[in-house]
A and B are shown apart, each in its own frame.
Chain A
Amino acid sequence: MKQGTSPQAILRQSISFAPTFDAWREAVRPLLSAAAHPATIDLADTASGVSDSLFAFSARNSVSESTPVHVPRSFIERAKIVACHRSADRWNLLYRILFRLQSDRNLMKLDVDDDIAEFRRLEHQVKRDLHKMHAFVRFRKVEDETGVHYIAWYEPAHHVLALAAPFFAERFAIMQWAILTPDASVNWDPDEKRLTFGTGVPRERAPVTDDFEALWRTYYSSIFNPARTNLHAMRSEMPVRYWKNLPEIDSLPRLLTEAEGRVEAMLARQPKVTAASFLPSERSLPILQQSIHTCQGCELYRCATQPVFGAGPSTARMMFVGEQPGDEEDRAGKPFIGPAGRLLDTLLAEAEIDRSSVYVTNAVKHFKFTERGKRRLHENPRASEIFACRPWLLAELEAVHPELVVCLGATASKSLFGPNFGLMRDRGKILSSPYAERVIATLHPSAILRATDPERAAQMRSMLVADLRLASATLGAKA
């Protein structure tokens, strides 16, 4: 497979030409028809400055044109791209491949051949540089008496300006724009629809800023997610050598120093934990009841006297879930013993449910209150607190495994059905949840106690009793 130049120097014939693909073509045409072996030829363009003018002479005079040559179109198209590479050896490589193509027509398809592999490598690098140029050129707007101009300063790795210009001509056809590079420059005239190439321009000639870049930096900083910082990926896609001409990179050091702090701030503002990490491995009621005293799943443990766990037989067929312990419950450590608990007892009796046979508990296990003088006023638990406490409720459900759960009030219902549960819409229906086969949601007895309008209170009372009767009937019917 290996085909290269011979190691010892045969006296190589140096050929010099202008650094363009067409000049190379002119230079090699006679060599090829004379079947001049690549090992005897050294092709160098005038820009590379390595050719020795003493040995350089026109190839056209030295060889006779005889053999018909084979130059596949696919080679020409790709060679034009390789010719834009900065590698000084590209001209010899191109000739070597062209020479070998005369006897091996399938050579271009042999990716594993050393010459072809090198050809592909150069081709790939030029194409990538071209693509990056399409991406990383940044125009700056300049207004003067001749109109609005968009001017960019750019430093491509290879000679890709001529390859890239048509892209910008199509994209910004109605704008007057120019791209300046150290080697060459190009202007677009939107009226004539014409590209004009010129010589290289020093950086100082390019505009230094554009007012709009502040907005662009704002966007760049805001679209970046500090929780996923990955500089390695950034560098591999946007190599550092491009950075100096990108206005957004100015924000980079600030973004990086702030990233860690921003993530920490994000996390700090998130509720830290739920009760899940405080649950014991054994989930029987007595063990759960002991363990709950250590719970710090939310902040409520700080102010409450003690957690209030559920109460009732572990074999109960019916379980009542309230909202949270009240003032009396908090002091005694037992659920439903205050005013609401007493009302519940009355209502249960009315609905002919035996209070001693049911299990009662709350969605939130600590009392949440605000102090008003000597009184501690009940305060609604927040969604985060309900969810932080939920693992205890689920553990109780698992341990008791009731046939029917009655949710008293919105908090208990939301704990089982999610935040969008509409209590007044769905109360008094036999529902099902992943945690219990039958669930009935109804009002909390304290809602009746709090109601100021006696008529409304009576109405709510009858609703609650009706729902309790439904609960009783459901279990009765099942039994």
Chain B
Amino acid sequence: MMTVQQKLAILADAAKYDASCASSGSKRAGNGKGIGHSDGTGICHSYTPDGRCVSLLKILLTNYCTYDCVFCVNRVSSDIPRARFTPVEVVNLTLDFYRRNYIEGLFLSSGIIQSPDYTMEQVIEIARSLREDHAFGGYIHLKAIAGASPALIERAGSFADRLSANIELPTQQDLVQLAPEKKVKVIEGTMNQITERKAEIDEDRHRHRSAPRFAPAGQSTQMVVGATATSDRQILSTASHLYDSYKLRRIYFSSFSPFPLGDARLPQAAPPLVREHRLYQADWLMRYYGFTAAELTTDQQPNLSLQKDPKLTWAEAHPEFFPVDVNAGSREALLRVPGIGYRNVSRILRIRRYHRLSLDDLRKLNVRVKVAEKYLIAADHLPTVPNLAHLIAVDSPKPVQAVQLDLFAGISAFSGQL
């Protein structure tokens, strides 16, 4: 008989490949009967030496699984130690960790045992017990098992703050190759159920606030990157489709990580973590900066540059868009200037109503001026002439001969015209 500690070691180890850790997006006041509340911001209670936060008790109910997804450490053909928690063990572990302020709540996932419905029922029972038997007010993130029946998804959402169904791989073709039991149609079907159910409930809550809640922190998903040769262009297009169709809060990109007893079908070396980072940057640009998926890569360059961030890459490829005047440019235009972040755009817009911004002011706002100065006009700054030279090159039918430009020559720094 395994101890809880032994099970915890196995079932936390098995869960670590799921990158999701957020505990934000859901507000719940303390209920006075049990422990726990959520203030909506999410709290990272610790950080592990891989730089990832520990916010939730992230475990699997069991790592027994009938599926054979090549990239997954828990696949049926993998020769790893197996364990299974009882519902009471998970409930007590969650409460005991929570009381000591180790965690914000529980993120429960599971290998597929018997059938998707059976697995979903087991997962739901734990959430139900926490909420109903213990009046637990902390954060609960449940894995929506793809293919589980709509009634179960609805029940899961009534207890959970967040649901997530993992898309796993960017394309159906990748799934066929590496996750033969999983189908995009089934996964997206489950996502769609969550989206529709949430829309209905939110509408009900609009009418009367006492209506039951459904996954107030919405849904997220995870995509394993680098297990197949699929390009960033394809990945971003899938991401964009998922955001649009299912109103996802987040897509987590998980760089494929080597694990014990991997499969020969997988690449041997993990893809560089930089790629994962670039995908997150691109993801941010799509969600907050008004970029579309198609803008960030091209058919000729279907992968994001590992050396330069995607915003800078775009700026270098679109000289016609710049310079942008920080004291006059629109929000949309400012968002595209490399070195200026989302929050700083809002601050610039607020400040410039009272004050014309100089480069020094931008430095005080922690704008990365070294990067940004080539692309912007400030009260005391125009981009240097070499950056306007491309305008000449674009406009004139013949290429202008490259000569050192003279500051006092008859050239207008504003238009670049001779």
Contacts and interface: CB of A to CB of B under 8 A. Distances in A.
Given A112-B351, A139-B100, A232 B51 contact: yes
Interface string B10-41: 10110111000000000001101111110101
B5 A270 contact: no
Nearest to B96: A212
A141 B99 contact: yes
A110 B4 CA distance: 56
Interface in A238-285: 238, 246, 248, 252, 255-256, 259, 263, 265-267, 269-274
B4 A215 contact: yes
B50 A216 contact: no
Most buried by B among A140, A167, A214, A266: A266
A175 B16 contact: no
B34 to A, nearest CB: 7
B180 interface: yes
B410 interface: no
B185 interface: no
B274 interface: no
A171 B30 contact: yes
25 contacts: A110-B355, A112-B364, A140-B100, A171-B35, A171-B137, A210-B100, A215-B4, A215-B8, A215-B93, A219-B57, A220-B48, A224-B16, A224-B52, A227-B257, A228-B257, A231-B51, A233-B51, A234-B50, A237-B44, A269-B262, A270-B268, A273-B268, A383-B264, A387-B263, A388-B264
B5 A215 contact: yes
Interface stretch (A21-29, A130-138, A342-350, A362-370): A130-138
A168 B98 CA distance: 12
Contact of B351 (A110, A248, A269, A388): A110
Nearest to A420: B180
The 7 closest A-B pairs by CB, nearest first: A233-B51, A230-B51, A222-B12, A224-B48, A112-B361, A387-B264, A170-B30
Interface string B50-70: 111110011000000000100
A111 B351 contact: yes
A109 B181 CA distance: 56
B49 A135 contact: no
B43 interface: yes
Contacts of A20: none
Interface in B54-91: 54, 57-58, 68, 77
B192 to A, nearest CB: 26
Contact of B37 (A171, A212, A231, A383): A171
A166 B12 CA distance: 32
Contacts of A263: 258
A366 to B, nearest CB: 15
Interface in A109-123: 109-112, 117
A414 to B, nearest CB: 11
Contact of B46 (A131, A172, A238): A238
Interface string B334-365: 00000000000001001101110100010011
A75 to B, nearest CB: 16
A150 B99 CA distance: 8
B5 A214 contact: yes
A224 B49 contact: yes
Interface string B80-123: 00000000000001001101111000000000000000000000
B9 interface: yes
A266 B54 contact: no
A385 to B, nearest CB: 8
A5 B263 CA distance: 69
Contacts of B68: 419-420
A222 B13 contact: yes
A229 B264 contact: no
B273 interface: yes
Given A216-B97, A420-B180, 12 more contacts: A109-B353, A112-B357, A135-B44, A220-B54, A222-B13, A224-B52, A226-B50, A256-B49, A267-B268, A383-B264, A387-B263, A418-B177
A223 interface: yes
A172 B99 contact: yes
A237 B99 contact: no
A234 B16 contact: no
A109 B354 contact: yes
Size bracket of the A interface: 35 or more
Given A223-B48, A225-B257, A263-B258, A418 B176 contact: yes
Nearest to A217: B5
A218 B99 contact: no
B261 interface: yes
Interface string B258-294: 1111111100101001000000000000000000000
B57 A174 contact: no
B65 to A, nearest CB: 15
Contacts of A109: 350-351, 353-354
B241 interface: no
A103 interface: no
Interface in A432-454: none
A152 interface: yes
Nearest to B180: A420
B381 interface: no
Contacts of A387: 263-265
A228 B50 contact: yes
Nearest to A150: B99
Contacts of B13: 222-223
B289 to A, nearest CB: 21
Contacts of B35: 171-175
B45 interface: yes
B262 A270 contact: yes
A222 B17 CA distance: 11
Nearest to B355: A110
A384 interface: yes
B276 to A, nearest CB: 10
A138 B361 CA distance: 41
A106 interface: yes
Given A225-B16, A387-B264, A420-B180, A170 B364 contact: no
B414 interface: no
A225 B50 contact: yes
Contacts of B257: 225, 227-228
A265 B5 CA distance: 23
B49 A255 contact: yes
B47 interface: yes
A276 to B, nearest CB: 10
A231 B48 CA distance: 8
B264 A170 contact: no
Given A173-B30, A234-B47, A384-B263, A139 B99 contact: yes
Most buried by A among B9, B93, B264, B353: B264
Interface in A73-131: 106, 109-112, 117, 131
Nearest to A231: B49
Contacts of B30: 170-171, 173
A237 B43 CA distance: 12
A259 B50 CA distance: 10
A97 to B, nearest CB: 16
Contact of A223 (B33, B58, B99): B58
Contacts of A131: 41, 43
Contacts of B53: 237
Contacts of A210: 100
A219 B354 contact: no
Most buried by A among B177, B181, B260: B260
A410 B397 CA distance: 64
A138 to B, nearest CB: 6
A265 B48 contact: no
Interface string A405-419: 000000000000011
Interface string A10-22: 0000000000000
B50 A222 contact: no
A380 B37 CA distance: 57
Given A228-B51, A418-B180, A135 B268 contact: no
A225 to B, nearest CB: 5
Nearest to B21: A223
